[in-house]
Amino acid sequence: VHPARLLDQPGNAPTNGVVQANRFYKFRSYDKSFPFIAVFGADIPPPLHEKLADVLPLIEVLVDKNGAPEQWVDNHRFPRGKVLMSLGMGGTAESETRAIAASNNIKDAPFTEEVEDAVFKEFIIPSSDRLKELGRRDLRDEEFVCTIDPATARDLDDAISITKTSGGYRVGVHIADVSYFVPLGNPVDLEARDRCTSTYFVERVIPMLPHKLCEDYCSLNAGEDKFAFSCIFQMDNNGVITSEWFGQSIIRNRCRMAYEDAQNIIEGNLTGDSLVFHEEELKTSPWPKEELTKKVVSSVTMMFELASKMRAARYEAGCLSLNKSKLKFRFDDINARVAPIGFGLDGIHEANWMVEQFMLLANIRVAEKIVEFLPQSALLRKHDSPDVKKLRAFKDAAAKHGIKLSVKTSKGLNDSLAKYSNDPRSDSLRLMATYNMMLAKYISSGEDETNPVDHYALATPCYTHFTSPIRRYADLMVHRQLLLALEIEQQVKRNANNNNANATVDVSLMKNKQYYFTHYEVSDIADRCNQQKERARKCSDASLKLFFCLYLEAIRIKSHVDKSIFPTQWVSAEVVRIKDGSFTIYASEIGSDCEIAFNSRNQHWRGECKFDKDSNSVILNWGPGQGQGEGSEDQEEAVGLFHRVTASLLVTRDQGLMKLDMILDAPWNRDRFPVGVRKVL
């Protein structure tokens, strides 16, 4: 199935809105690797005839039992298809978003009746006695639990508690217990396994789980009792674990914070007066609001204190950080799905990495636990070391511009990048480093005993995803594996206490035996998770660029009535990558890169670029210089890494999809135009 646009070609559009049943029309798929699709008029629904050039149709290519195109048209040049439906009018946020999802094979459809019916009709918290029978630890009074999430988040996966002790800290990482609500093999589980991940667009989310689960039963909402899977760590004053406990629990979220709230507390700009507490929490809390506020502020202060120590130790051990800023948008009404009214960059602040440290702690310890007791089939997250030749080439290229990098270890690379954090080229430098990294992936621990399963960027020998089971199927799988691993651990301890430490543990006798998966089963699930995670990432990236394109279009339209607004926007950019047939520039002001083909028709240089291998640069022919007539000597420019340029921003269509293009200015024009994108309409 392909989202597509009618090919803009003479004779291809319907005449006066009349679609002829016995002739075919050519459509351009959003998939660049796919040829034009031929659709006969008889296979186009009549309601679309008059606006065929303006709509985004979803086209099914007719295939045989092997999945190959079944019929070819026009001397076998084009596969035949039929229009299933319209995604909406082209150029609108809603239709373009649906097209992005479809082109990346992300299921953008309501959950079936079978799946919805498999969700609990109601859920009532059991009595204290029943909780004990279930083996679920009651932490509602024992731990002061808070959540810190994006302000717009609805699916709250994780919560944190912290208490100062005589020996240091007691830290709780509490994760939504999705495994309780999603039995293995039921319709919800099978659908979640197919989707594998929630997919995040600028204006909406395609969830992995039905809304009743991800926003109600499972979500750790403020003022509500919730089932969780908790990790309780006793830590010394330096953040070293002295003891730990893992298990199913019941918690109560005492305060929901946005990252901005936590950041203000960290910076000392907020005493807590602006914190919003759930009305039910204020009614039932043993503490008055003033005391609740003090406890929240104290918790965040302690979290930051401890997280700072943990983060320093992690970087000392070799952790590598390559985070870059992302676009964020302002809307009059985000639910209206129209163009933004402004934009900015969303960077990583202390509150973000504070929470991240505790999530990393839980993920690492859970990984070590499941590998210990399920050594051949633990679902892990692996990040291979980068290619040594590529890193050395990156190092040599940076050295030509006075930048000295150490690339032997992840610690060396991180430390050397940190030295240039205040350099204007810092963002570009980190992006270049990212280009040389391998993609992290899910694997089964039994995949290759000769190949280490360590995580290069996190500098840890064992890592997994445990902390986001509402939105990632891999985490749900890990919860199930952890339940079994903890049961195996208890049996091993009983055997040891009975002087029978070498006794074999029979998994088939375990309460959680259904959560034993073979290496091959885990590998299949890991492969699907990898595939869907990459598709979801592409959707998120495309959504950011789509809404920036919509914003630029809104500026252009508004400039028609407000002459103070310039219709074209310019940015300053830097060359960050050169490869065969193209080069990439990065504009830090908008947190976006743009790949430019040597033979691009949108650029203003003459002919096709030439690649100079000796200097690792691209030669651009700009023709005669400013004020020079035809026949004058052409001006050439060698463009290498870190070369600074200015470029105008142009919204184009690539295979039908709205695309941001950056059009380079000729050297003599780079001081003529107002560089800097208007931040608000």
Domain that includes residue 639, residue range: 568-669
On whether both 409 and 312 belong to a single domain, the answer is no
Task: Tell me whether residue 605 is in a domain.
Answer: yes
Count CA within 13 A, CB hemisphere, residue 250: 20
On whether both 84 and 148 belong to a single domain, the answer is no
Contact 477, 444 (CB under 8 A): no
Domain boundary among 90, 115, 137: 90
Task: Tell me whether residue 374 is in a domain.
Answer: no
- Rounded CA gap, 231 and 137, in Å? 11
At 668, is the secondary structure helix, strand, or coil?
helix
On whether both 272 and 227 belong to a single domain, the answer is yes
pLDDT of residue 450: 58
Backbone angles phi, psi at 491, to 5 degrees: -65, -40
Select from 150, 144, 352, 146 the least CA-distant residue to 258.
150
Contact 467, 158 (CB under 8 A): yes
245-267 as b/e: b if 16+ CB within 10 A: ebbbbbbbbbbbbbbebbbbbbe
Task: Tell me whether residue 538 is in a domain.
Answer: no
- Rounded CA gap, 480 and 597, in Å? 47
On whether both 166 and 241 belong to a single domain, the answer is yes
**Per-residue model confidence as pLDDT tens digits over 283-336:** 878 888 889 999 999 999 999 999 999 999 999 999 999 988 899 999 987 776
Task: Tell me whether residue 364 is in a domain.
Answer: no
Q: How far is CA 265 from the centre of its chain?
A: 27
**Cβ count within 10 A of residue 284:** 10
On whether both 156 and 300 belong to a single domain, the answer is yes
- Rounded CA gap, 140 and 88, in Å? 48
pLDDT of residue 345: 92
Q: What is the dihedral of CA 35, 97, 526, 373, to 10 degrees?
A: 180
Domain boundary among 400, 420, 437: 437
On whether both 127 and 232 belong to a single domain, the answer is yes
- Rounded CA gap, 605 and 620, in Å? 6
Task: Tell me whether residue 211 is in a domain.
Answer: no
| pTM of the predicted model as reported, rounded to 2 decimal places | 0.92
pLDDT of residue 630: 66
Residue 611 sits in a domain of what CATH number? 2.40.50.140
Residue 14 sits in a domain of what CATH number? 2.40.50.700
On whether both 143 and 78 belong to a single domain, the answer is no
At 447, is the secondary structure helix, strand, or coil?
coil
At 35, is the secondary structure helix, strand, or coil?
coil
On whether both 252 and 168 belong to a single domain, the answer is yes
At 205, list the tokens: 């989310």
* CB proximity list for 325: less than 8 A, separation 6 or greater: 345, 346, 347, 427, 588, 591
At 320, is the secondary structure helix, strand, or coil?
coil
Task: Tell me whether residue 272 is in a domain.
Answer: yes
pLDDT of residue 527: 98
Size of the chain in residues = 681
Count CA within 13 A, CB hemisphere, residue 665: 23
Placement of tokens 């995040």 in the chain: 200
On whether both 133 and 266 belong to a single domain, the answer is yes
Between 350-373 and 289-316, two packed helices, what is the crossing angle to 10 degrees? 70
Please state the domain count of the chain: 4
On whether both 246 and 314 belong to a single domain, the answer is yes
Contact 576, 428 (CB under 8 A): yes
Residues paired with residue 663 on neighbouring β-strands, in sequence order = 648
Task: Tell me whether residue 464 is in a domain.
Answer: no
Task: Tell me whether residue 141 is in a domain.
Answer: yes
Residues of the chain where predicted confidence (pLDDT) is lower than 50: none
DSSP state of 383: B
On whether both 60 and 139 belong to a single domain, the answer is no
On whether both 586 and 634 belong to a single domain, the answer is yes
Domain boundary among 69, 90, 111: 90
